[in-house]
Amino acid sequence: MKIYKNFIKTVVVATAVTFTTACSDFLDEEDESNFTTDTYFTKAEHAESAVNGIYEPLVPITSSGFGGGTWLMLEFATGLANTSLGQATNIYLVKDLINNSDNGYGSSYWTEYYTGISRANLAIEKIPEINMDETEKQNYLAEAKFFRAYYYFGLVRMFGNIPIITSSVDLGSEQLYPEQASAEAVYDLILSDLSDAENSSLPWRDESGRVSMGAVKTLMADVYLTMAGYPLQKTENYALAAAKAKEVIDSNEFRLFDTYDELHDPATKNTGEYIFMTQFAANIQSGNWQPAILPYNLGISVYSAQTGGIFSTNEFANSYEPGDKRAEEKQFFFRDYTLEADRSESINLGAPYIYKLFDVQANEETAQSDLNWCLYRYADVLLMYAEASNEAEGGPTTEAYNAVNLIRQRAEVADLAGLSQDDFREAVRIERVHELSFENKTWFDMARWRKAYNPETNALEDFVGHTYTYLPNKALTERELLFPIPTSEIQNNPNLVQNAGY
């Protein structure tokens, strides 16, 4: 299958295009290889290179090692994850509800996402000046605006009121020390960018891994659904979320995989259920989260690092309905595996590890994962539609039932039927928790619902006051609805105000 190599082997424009000044005392001639932002953007290849660089900040988020990994922050904030990685301080700050602004995971999200925004700003500024095919130009701009929206969407949900920066910044810029904008202002920019991206000729699906119209519409549905919940509570957006999700469904470009094995098969990336992914390729830019999902030094993998960074709590892995295929061995979780030294011998892992993210070939043979990291898949869209439609229509419609029941049929559990609006809302939300577990979705849902999942009762309860099963004497507070702005940002920018409680 075709892999878009330029995503993975890109020379990042933000590095290649430096802000340099000529030193006329030493050189009378201009060095044509010394690019600046004023001289670089002259042809179509430069537009492509600029946009490719905007994809790159997605990659470090999934990196994992003995220090943990940035993506773990959103999983340990749900209370549904456990770890045996004792030295990863950032994990325990989140997991044990003692988080602070020195947490390196939050700093990584802030830095990488604002890096992506800065690259998008540069592309949006400079690409219109290039003499090139107009359709191609507009599609590159659509990709850049999609990403600016995506990165701001992540930041505003994690950190609340954040600076809005929409132009390139240098030492003389007025935006060098930006003030925080309201969440509503950030969402206005997000929707403006996505509306522009929507008015392009991007294809509905792009199996090379580039931004597609399916990705744009899916992100719009997610944004509208989030705005309808907390903190904005713009409930009129439920209908808009349902409409955008329905456009993705009606495109007939996406389908649920038949088996859960296809969710972690490198051969399926950018196809079938997958709408948008972070691109990886073995031996070029290998999928880098495998060490985190392996049990600590039990010898089941050819990876030298097997960190035990994250696994499911027993309570969550056991919370699926009786007969739910997702809870069976080597579907979403695994508790046993063969030893690297002797594949005819198995060992009990002592906990439910995350099989839906597990690359079999990489762990048994190559130590180079060819898996992509999923950002959006079709199951998410079906559940967005079911949830939003139920709210917009005052109760579940036949189409809303059909959407959620497609997911339940694959899991081999009974269809939902005959539910009130309230009961359907609860059922769909719990379906999201189970289906999208360990995909960096659940904490965002908890924050917009103001609800947390209790795996022991299989029910949602108020976020504030909820206790994790492993931490029964300490409850969530309003503080945990946001992450702290990183210490370095507070110190560097006097216009920033720290989130309450940190």
Q: Mind listing the pLDDT tens digit for each residue in 374-396?
A: 999 999 999 999 999 999 999 99
Domain ranges of the chain: 1-23+41-56+103-201+478-502
417 burial (CB, 10 Å; 0-12 / 13-18 / 19+) is exposed
pLDDT of the residue at 473: 96
β-bridge mates for residue 281, sequence order: 285
**pLDDT (tens digit, 9 = 90+) per residue, 24-68?**
333 344 445 555 666 788 999 999 999 999 999 999 999 999 999
Query: From CA 409, how far away is CA 403, in angstroms rounded?
Result: 10
Per-residue pLDDT at 8 exceeds 60: no
Query: Does residue 313 have a pLDDT over 60?
Result: yes
Verify cis geometry, omega within 30 degrees of 0, for the bond prior to 231.
yes
Tell me the pLDDT tens digit for each residue of 136-164.
Answer: 999 999 999 999 999 999 999 999 999 99
**Banded pLDDT at 176 (limits 50, 70, 90):** confident
Q: Which of 24-38, 67-81, 237-251, 307-321 has the lowest mean pLDDT?
A: 24-38
Q: Which of 396, 496, 416 is nearest to 181 (CA)?
A: 496
For the segment 322-366, what is each residue's pLDDT rounded down to a tens digit?
999 999 999 999 999 999 999 999 999 999 999 999 999 999 999
Higher confidence at residue 214 or residue 29?
214
Options 3.40.720.10, 3.40.190.10, 1.25.40.890, 3.90.600.10; CATH for 1-23+41-56+103-201+478-502 is: 1.25.40.890
Which ranges in 182-280 belong to alpha helices (H)? 183-198, 213-228, 237-250
pTM: 0.93
